[in-house]
Amino acid sequence: MKITLYRIILIIFAVASLAFITYNSLQTAEQSTEMSNGVSTVIAEVIVPDFDKMNEPQKQEVVTKISIPVREIAHALEFASLAFFIALFAFTLPFQYGRYPVAMVITLLFGFAFALFDEWIQSFVSGRGTQWVDVWVDCSGVIAGIIFALVVDIIGMGVVVRRRQRKRFR
């Protein structure tokens, strides 16, 4: 029962990640730029010294400079969260040839396929287009998400094993 609930929760989060990524991809270029600039402004207020004392053209220049890295990091983080939930789900499945290698390959292939789909649907949105660099940034996010899920799963398994050992020795 616990594993079924765990799987359901992971599927819900994976579907939410898919929906979030798709929603962002369906934004027009103008909407996407506005959102990126808003996030970049908030980041600039935190990391750029005296940002609040700059005049508007200076602020705009800083926001423009950090906007591209912010967008790329956002792409990677979206796909990292997606891969994290898919990998954790896949780790619960009983694979014949070892759960980690098979689950990681499945997650990587799904993430790559969805990155391609994501870029493809952007080609139908006003002012947007397909950028192959984004596919590779998305895939780097997928790899990061898989690694993070692997670490979380291994640590979680260690906690479970220690609990079982303590119960046995009581």
Rounded to two decimals, the pTM is: 0.86
pLDDT in tens, 38-69: 999 999 999 989 888 889 999 999 999 999 89
Q: What percent of the chain has pLDDT over 70?
A: 92
DSSP readout, 47-103? HSTTGGGS-HHHHHHHHHHHHHHHHHHHHHHHHHHHHHHHHHHHHTS--TT-HHHHH
Buried b (16+ CB within 10 A) or exposed e, 12-47: ebbeebbeebeebbebeeeebeeebbebbbebbeee
pLDDT value for 112? 97
Confidence of residue 130 (pLDDT cuts 50, 70, 90): confident
What whole-number distance in Å separates Cα of residue 96 and Cα of residue 98?
A: 6
Confidence of residue 73 (pLDDT cuts 50, 70, 90): very high
What whole-number distance in Å separates Cα of residue 44 and Cα of residue 40?
A: 6
